[in-house]
Amino acid sequence: MLILAFGDVHMRPERAKGIPGIRQADLVVVNGDLTLRGGRAEALSVLDALTELNRHVYAQIGNMDRADVDRMFTEMGINLNGRGVLVGGVGLFGLGGSPPTPFDTPSEFTEQELEATLRRAYQDVEKASVKILFSHAPPVDTAVDRVRSGAHVGSSAVRRFLEEADCSLCVCGHIHEASGTDRVGPALVLNPGMLAQGGYARIEWDGHSLSATLERC
């Protein structure tokens, strides 16, 4: 099974056309920030462009997407935020939005709210032998949550969860300049950076082993 994951699209989905194998992938996960403070119409235009490449898409909001986008994804049956699904024996679950930022973006939540959403999503997949978290916000105090000033601005709830839970992989985003890898607890953590800059994660599961790499297109 091949899963391709990316986020921080910000109304520029065209770069996804250059991802090798996107039309043949078993699943595409869009990990938040489809828009720039946009709502349903803007998010749908991005989603339409992506589903022209691959119809098997799950998505969730980032902090830059409004609440009506979250509701739209739920209505469409593709929402991962606060939910989990089993695909090919792999448990996929999601956490959208972000902790508070200095920019007053549309979908910011307290750490307590993020933790509750994350725990709810995990319940849907906790019996899966392999679990992948798609979190728009990265875990705090890692190589993948550091802004240009050097400050760590990720989520303490995500970090605490990864330290405690049985999770093989976490794909995050949100902090564009912090593309890279780290490890928290048993989980490999990947931040592909912005899709507009060609960043995406390639995840493969052969029924026995899981592999995940950062890629550029």
CATH number at residue 174: 3.60.21.10
| Domain span at 124 | 2-216
What does the alpha-carbon distance between residue 59 and residue 183 come to, in Å, rounded to a whole number?
A: 24
- Total structural domains within the chain: 1
- pLDDT at site 23: 98
- pLDDT at site 184: 98
Question: Is the pTM value of this prediction over 0.85?
Answer: yes
pLDDT means per 10 residues, the chain with 217 residues, are 98 98 98 98 98 98 98 98 96 98 98 98 97 98 97 98 97 98 98 97 97 98
